[in-house]
A and B are shown apart, each in its own frame.
Chain A
């Protein structure tokens, strides 16, 4: 069977797992095209007006697969960490798609819900395997294989401080070690935001490439261990129930408290519910307690690249200036 996977949203987190799992069960994977103008246009046409950019784009990716596959894989990602959610739109994603896109093929929309326990991750894939008419043993083998590949993927991101696209995309061949060597004279920036926004080069207007070209070292939440995130969030007065928000905040506070960064770039999509509050907490604390420059990039379908570049460059200039002062002016007392 040909299973379509939209190259959007949790593709950036789970694709290695999905691919290995399905392929081990003799399925053929078809990915939608990388995000582009037409795909965005299609998404805007189909999706309910008030959704955020990544969800609109997701609609475009689904439409892009129609006619090319037997079924489209749109898991209902309710929760990927105990006591946490991603966002209401993820809870309703398969519904939104079915409500808004006509002539869909079959949709595989099995729940992924680890709210109560992580064991459900395994159950989720058992269920998937069963839908594909595979027996327990086949599913188990595929699951184990997929898990190994996924672990290696996640480990690589952390170890080599690379982005998912370095592994997932063919166009991303660069010699990471050269770029990511810890060089004290280089600017160090935290790049915070949902993976499906920052790693989708169309959405983020090639932000990753731009930072690399400018020789800026950056850390994202995918490059840090869970331990760091737990450490970073331990001073929150209430546990954050949005997984992606928690990761951003944890990463930020961990590095801020250790004075390891020169600035923070926070990428959010216009209309993103969780980020409207997460961003506020982040920005307030960064400015108030740590006095570190903070750049908030709010993306929607109207964002122009020129303005985006100007703001990014201005921000990096400020960081350069501050760094120069710190390095060259002795501090007294």
Chain B
């Protein structure tokens, strides 16, 4: 059994660690490239949303490398993601691949079911081994989130461009390679220390929040490296979702889910009253949340035709006005390109600066 899974941000690192520590062979799909995209687009339904297509590209490339078992998350709708696995299975079968796909269906088939199944296959694992494998993987996921979070604070103010990214890549490798619990714990402080050692220019950067459909928010290959690009333009970026959030939401049984969530969702109610699938309601809530936290702007990401996010988009003009926060929506599909994107980001940032100046000016003269 040679396991593979789709890419989503750096999630491959904890996943690889999890399966390998349980004695399974893992074949991660090669990093997403133009070829991944092309393969995905060529073999997916034309009007499917972008994540499905990239997944297909990942699967094909992993199967070519010898993987034979695909692990995929499922879902109960109404968003399309819940039916991805079924469609992808058909597509790959049509292409003649020989493989098995394990789809984790909530709530009956959550993560623990998979672990049980794995325990059966690799019967030398004890519960203790499994628990320890899960714990290490989870710690790695937390480290990755920390790394993302903190580097996006330093990147905009680094004195020498590219330094943060260099360190980011180094640490990424270390998180990947390390397998000892104590070492992992050490790494936590190392991350903070090395990042804070980077010389900075002492400026206060603009703060922009990123919200939207999970996959496009988490996967730099499809969001055209937005975090890095914004950082290089001197903007501090914060996301509404990190890997550990996704895992909690999608792979764990609902009683383990945090409920700070619900409070934030309440913010969306005047605009979107109830759950609309995916993260539509959450997108609106998070825009307001970012506005309340004093962010200067928000960028809303969604794959072309993503239904929950289209519902969210209908609320954005009102939300943006009411909470006076500039919001830019970026729709991503296979034709999106990094070149024109930078110009759009720059224009958005200019607009924010301009708004700030006008705002400050108005404030000065109204005596506040």
| Chain A residues within CB distance 8 Å of chain B | 47-48, 50-51, 76, 78, 83-89, 91-92, 94-96, 99-100, 111, 236-238, 240-242, 270-277, 279-281, 284, 288, 298
Q: Do A83 and B76 touch across chains, with their CB atoms under 8 A apart?
A: yes
| Closest Cβ neighbor of A279 among chain B residues | B45
Residue B90 CB within 8 A of the other chain: yes
Q: Do A276 and B49 touch across chains, with their CB atoms under 8 A apart?
A: yes
Say yes or no: A99-B318 contact (C-beta < 8 A), given A50-B313, A241-B83: yes
Write out the residue numbers on chain A whose beta carbons fall within 8 Å of the beta carbon of B48.
276-277, 280
A78–B278 Cα distance when bound, in Å, is 14
* A262 → chain B closest CB, angstroms: 24
* B84 → chain A closest CB, angstroms: 8
Q: Do B307 and A273 touch across chains, with their CB atoms under 8 A apart?
A: yes
| Closest Cβ neighbor of A90 among chain B residues | B78
Say yes or no: A88-B280 contact (C-beta < 8 A), given A48-B314, A50-B331: yes
A96–B315 Cα distance when bound, in Å, is 7
Q: Do A88 and B79 touch across chains, with their CB atoms under 8 A apart?
A: yes
Q: Which of A86, A240, A241 has the most CB of B within 10 A?
A: A241
| Closest Cβ neighbor of A59 among chain B residues | B314
Write out the residue numbers on chain B whose beta carbons fall within 8 Å of the beta carbon of A86.
78
Q: Do B280 and A273 touch across chains, with their CB atoms under 8 A apart?
A: no
Write out the residue numbers on chain B whose beta carbons fall within 8 Å of the beta carbon of A91.
78, 274-277, 311
- Write out, one digit per residue, whether chain B residues 226-240 have a CB within 8 A of any chain A CB (1) or not (0): 000000000000000
Write out the residue numbers on chain A whose beta carbons fall within 8 Å of the beta carbon of B317.
99
Q: Which of A84, A111, A271, A288 has the most CB of B within 10 A?
A: A271
Residue B42 CB within 8 A of the other chain: no
| Closest Cβ neighbor of B47 among chain A residues | A276
* A80 → chain B closest CB, angstroms: 12
Residue B272 CB within 8 A of the other chain: yes
* A47 → chain B closest CB, angstroms: 8
| Closest Cβ neighbor of A280 among chain B residues | B45
* A322 → chain B closest CB, angstroms: 24
Number of B interface residues at 8 Å Cβ cutoff, please give it. Answer: 46
Say yes or no: A95-B314 contact (C-beta < 8 A), given A86-B78, A277-B45: yes
Q: Can you list 30 residue pairs at the A/B interface with Cβ under 8 Å?
A: A48-B310, A50-B313, A50-B331, A88-B280, A89-B307, A91-B275, A91-B277, A92-B280, A92-B311, A92-B314, A94-B273, A95-B272, A99-B314, A99-B318, A241-B78, A241-B82, A272-B47, A273-B49, A274-B80, A275-B47, A276-B48, A277-B52, A277-B83, A277-B87, A279-B47, A280-B45, A280-B48, A280-B90, A281-B90, A284-B90
Q: Do A276 and B311 touch across chains, with their CB atoms under 8 A apart?
A: no
Q: Do A50 and B318 touch across chains, with their CB atoms under 8 A apart?
A: no
* A229 → chain B closest CB, angstroms: 18
Q: Which of A47, A95, A111, A274 has the most CB of B within 10 A?
A: A95
| Chain B residues within CB distance 8 Å of chain A | 45-49, 52, 74, 76-80, 82-87, 89-91, 94, 103, 105, 271-278, 280, 304-308, 310-311, 313-315, 317-318, 331
A166–B307 Cα distance when bound, in Å, is 32
Closest 3 pairs (CB-CB, A-B) = A92-B311, A241-B77, A85-B78
Q: Which of A47, A238, A275, A281 has the most CB of B within 10 A?
A: A238
A87–B83 Cα distance when bound, in Å, is 13
Write out the residue numbers on chain A whose beta carbons fall within 8 Å of the beta carbon of B313.
48, 50
Q: Do B76 and A241 touch across chains, with their CB atoms under 8 A apart?
A: yes
Say yes or no: A92-B45 contact (C-beta < 8 A), given A50-B331, A280-B87, A281-B87: no
Write out the residue numbers on chain A whose beta carbons fall within 8 Å of the beta carbon of B315.
95, 99
* B78 → chain A closest CB, angstroms: 4
* B273 → chain A closest CB, angstroms: 6
Q: Do B305 and A242 touch across chains, with their CB atoms under 8 A apart?
A: no
Main secondary structure of the interface of A (DSSP, over half): mixed
Write out the residue numbers on chain B whose beta carbons fall within 8 Å of the beta carbon of A51.
310, 314
A84–B83 Cα distance when bound, in Å, is 13
* A39 → chain B closest CB, angstroms: 19
A92–B305 Cα distance when bound, in Å, is 15
Write out the residue numbers on chain B whose beta carbons fall within 8 Å of the beta carbon of A237.
86, 89
Write out the residue numbers on chain A whose beta carbons fall within 8 Å of the beta carbon of B308.
88, 92
Give 10 new A-B contacts, CB below 8 A, not counting A238-B86, A276-B305, A298-B47.
A85-B77, A88-B278, A95-B314, A96-B314, A241-B83, A276-B45, A276-B47, A277-B48, A279-B45, A280-B90
A254–B11 Cα distance when bound, in Å, is 41
A88–B307 Cα distance when bound, in Å, is 6
| Closest Cβ neighbor of A92 among chain B residues | B311
Write out the residue numbers on chain A whose beta carbons fall within 8 Å of the beta carbon of B90.
280-281, 284
Write out the residue numbers on chain B whose beta carbons fall within 8 Å of the beta carbon of A270.
47
Q: Do A242 and B77 touch across chains, with their CB atoms under 8 A apart?
A: yes
Q: Which of B83, B90, B304 has the most CB of A within 10 A?
A: B83
Q: Do A276 and B314 touch across chains, with their CB atoms under 8 A apart?
A: no
A50–B275 Cα distance when bound, in Å, is 19
Among A100, A274, A279, A288, which residue has its beta carbon within 8 angstroms of that of B314? A100
Q: Do A88 and B305 touch across chains, with their CB atoms under 8 A apart?
A: no
Q: Do B80 and A273 touch across chains, with their CB atoms under 8 A apart?
A: yes
| Closest Cβ neighbor of B317 among chain A residues | A99
| Closest Cβ neighbor of A100 among chain B residues | B314
* B82 → chain A closest CB, angstroms: 6
Among B86, B274, B277, which residue has its beta carbon within 8 angstroms of that of A85? B277
Write out the residue numbers on chain B whose beta carbons fall within 8 Å of the beta carbon of A272.
47
* A296 → chain B closest CB, angstroms: 10
Q: Do A88 and B276 touch across chains, with their CB atoms under 8 A apart?
A: yes
Q: Do A277 and B80 touch across chains, with their CB atoms under 8 A apart?
A: yes
Write out the residue numbers on chain B whose beta carbons fall within 8 Å of the beta carbon of A238.
74, 83, 85-86, 103, 105
A51–B82 Cα distance when bound, in Å, is 20
Write out the residue numbers on chain A whose beta carbons fall within 8 Å of the beta carbon of B306.
273
Q: Do B311 and A89 touch across chains, with their CB atoms under 8 A apart?
A: yes
Write out the residue numbers on chain B whose beta carbons fall within 8 Å of the beta carbon of A48.
310, 313-314
Q: Which of A85, A236, A298 has the most CB of B within 10 A?
A: A85
Write out the residue numbers on chain B whose beta carbons fall within 8 Å of the beta carbon of A284.
90, 94
A333–B105 Cα distance when bound, in Å, is 46
A86–B308 Cα distance when bound, in Å, is 12
